[in-house]
Amino acid sequence: MNEAREHDAPRSSASDRGVTGFFGSDGLARRVFEAIPSPAFVVDRDRRIVAANAAGESLMHGRDKTVYRTTAGLAFMCIHESDSAKGCGHGSFCEHCAINRSVSEAVEGNHVSKKKYRLERVTGDTTEDVYLLISSSPIEHNCQVLALVVLEDVTQLARLHSVLPICAKCKKIRNDSDYWENVETYMRDHENIGFTHSICPDCVAELYPDLSR
């Protein structure tokens, strides 16, 4: 994904994120879970986060261990988390929430692959949209079925496919930092796309009229 939102606070430990307690002595499973490059979470049927990998901190509300084992809506700062006094999973919007539904599918033994979702979350006094691809699978632990949820942040890709400010004259693009840069640079930095240059027939006619006759 990983378009992680960086924080100044130090990273929490695997123990704080519930990883050590969940995987116990299974060192290989713990290392594999931690190595997943996208935010990954183990969530119970009550939408409470049992464990989160290191990449998951990019979507968590801070790095304090008190966040872990709380509901996903609170941890992800979902704008709808407070819609119901019962919290995450109980509001009128929650039945439409793709994260909520993906958890439900997984604990029922089903799989979800790359389901698109726009998470509206609170950041201080403002809100922001985070565009996600959600995948989930059932995972058995201590005689109960939990949900393994992986969230891929595709926010920048979604923005690229939406409206971009472009200069009507020079065709430079205004980036997220309000700087103007040429199209090639923007695409290279955001999409890892290289360019090869050619020339269209209209420009050939303008620049080389003799060749176009």
What pLDDT, in 10s, does the model give residues 86-95?
888 888 888 8
Residue at a domain's end among 105, 130, 154: 154
User: What is the DSSP-derived secondary structure letter of residue 54?
Assistant: G
Q: Torsion over CA of 183, 189, 193 and 195, rounded to 10 degrees?
A: 40
pLDDT recorded at residue 70: 81
- In sequence order, the β-bridge partners of residue 115 are 134
Clarify whether residues 132 and 47 are in a common domain: yes
Instruction: Verify that 84 and 126 share a domain, yes or no.
Output: yes
C-alpha to C-alpha distance for 63 and 9, rounded to whole angstroms = 7
Q: Is residue 11 part of a domain?
A: no
Q: Bridge partners of 146? A: 139
Which region, left, alpha or beta, applies to residue 47 given φ > 0 means left and ψ of -120 to 50 means alpha? Answer: left
Q: What share of the chain is helix, strand, coil (3-state, %, to 5)?
A: 30, 25, 45
Tell me the C-alpha distance between 79 and 76, whole Å: 9
* Among the ranges given (20-34, 99-113, 152-166, 198-212), the one the predictor scored with the smallest mean pLDDT: 152-166
pTM of the model: 0.65
Residue predicted with more confidence, 163 or 100: 100
14 within some domain: no
- Count Cβ atoms below 10 Å from residue 77 Cβ, excluding itself: 20
CB atoms within 10 A of CB 86: 10
Q: Could you list the residue range(s) of the whole structural domain that residue 45 is in? A: 19-154
Position 9 in a domain: no
More confident residue, 91 or 195: 91
CA pair distance 155, 164, nearest whole angstrom: 14
The Cα 158–Cα 116 span in angstroms is 11
For 8-22, the pLDDT digits (tens) are 444 566 665 767 778
Mean of pLDDT over the chain: 81
Q: Are residues 35 and 140 in the same domain?
A: yes
Are residues 105 and 197 located together in one domain of the fold? no
